[in-house]
Amino acid sequence: MKFGHHQSFYLRVNWLSKAMKMRNEDPQFFFDEFSFERIGLGRNMVKSLRYWAVATSVMEEAKNEERKSYHQLTEFGRLVFDNDRFIRLPLTAAVLHCLLASNREQATSWYWFFNEHSHHSSTNEEMLAALSEWVGQHHNREVSVNTLKRDLDCLKLMYTVQAGSEDDPEEIVASPLSGLKLLYDIREQFVKRNPEPNLIDLDALYFNLLYYCGKYEVNSLTLEEIQVKPMLWGKLFHLSSNQILEYLELLHADTLYPVKFVRTNQIYSLNIDVENAYVFLQNAYARKAAY
């Protein structure tokens, strides 16, 4: 589990593009003492970016033949770099969120907030107390309250800071995840927000199902499971049962998604013809490019 590795900087819109570009020029870029001068960010910002690149599953660290550390793009990272490196598509933002909020080891506070914290609304103090209690039960090391508070402050900014009309594109401070509108921008509270109709890309929701099915080796999910289980729609996107039902019906009605939505003895189930989630995502990008 990791806490506080973001250096108190939330992920900015253009950061992942910068990170992938520099990594492609030099796989050991993030291990260069003077990398901050090359990328044009502050030293601590570069440390933060290195963390976010891994936490969002865009990059992973590896060792070369000389046992030196370097970064490589993941399968997801290669798709983003080739198709939407500036995170302009709602599809990319939603998949980024899915992978980040499902990453219990790298983005622990994010995982907890979206999957384990069941309250719709909490004060900042209540959130901090609840996270501290959960960490105490699930982590074998003590984590300072200040570190956890920085995590929560960073999380709130990541999902609420949006671009202004006068912002310089090079200095933009918006987060690529704020457009999902999963949190209300309230200073003294954390209030989860139900996304507006059609705001969440249907391809992203289907990617989430494929990712989950691949991870847990299942090919069928009930409506209740999709609503209440960690790493699925109800938790990650705060979708209600009725919203989930509407999206499932859309999937069932579209031949792009090989699923069967059935009702048996008052139980709604979705049977899924499981494929590799990233192959599906590549095809989804190709379809959008053709529009």
Q: How far apart are the first and last CA of the chain?
A: 41
Whole-structure pTM value: 0.93
Scored b (16 or more CB within 10 A) or e, 71-105 reads bebbebbebbbebbbebebbbbbbbbbbbbbbbbe
DSSP letters for 107-128: SHHHHIIIII---SEEEHHHHH
Alpha-carbon gap, residue 86 to 98, rounded angstroms: 18
Instruction: List, for residues 206-227, the tens digit of each pLDDT value.
Output: 999 999 999 999 999 999 999 9
What tens digit of pLDDT does each residue of 31-81 get? Answer: 888 888 888 888 999 999 999 999 999 999 988 888 889 999 999 999 999
Q: Calculate mean pLDDT across residues 89-108.
A: 96
Q: How many CB atoms lie within 10 A of CB 18?
A: 17
So what's the pLDDT on residue 173?
A: 81
Domain 202-290 has CATH 1.10.10: yes
Q: Are 207 and 281 in contact (CB under 8 A)?
A: yes
From the number of C-beta atoms within 10 Å of its C-beta (0-12, 13-18, 19+), residue 281 rates as buried
Domain layout of the chain by residue ranges: 15-191, 202-290
pLDDT band (50, 70, 90) for residue 163: low
Ramachandran angles phi, psi of 155, nearest 5°: -60, -45
Position 33 scores a pLDDT of 85
Least confident span in 105-109, 180-184, 196-200, 223-227: 196-200
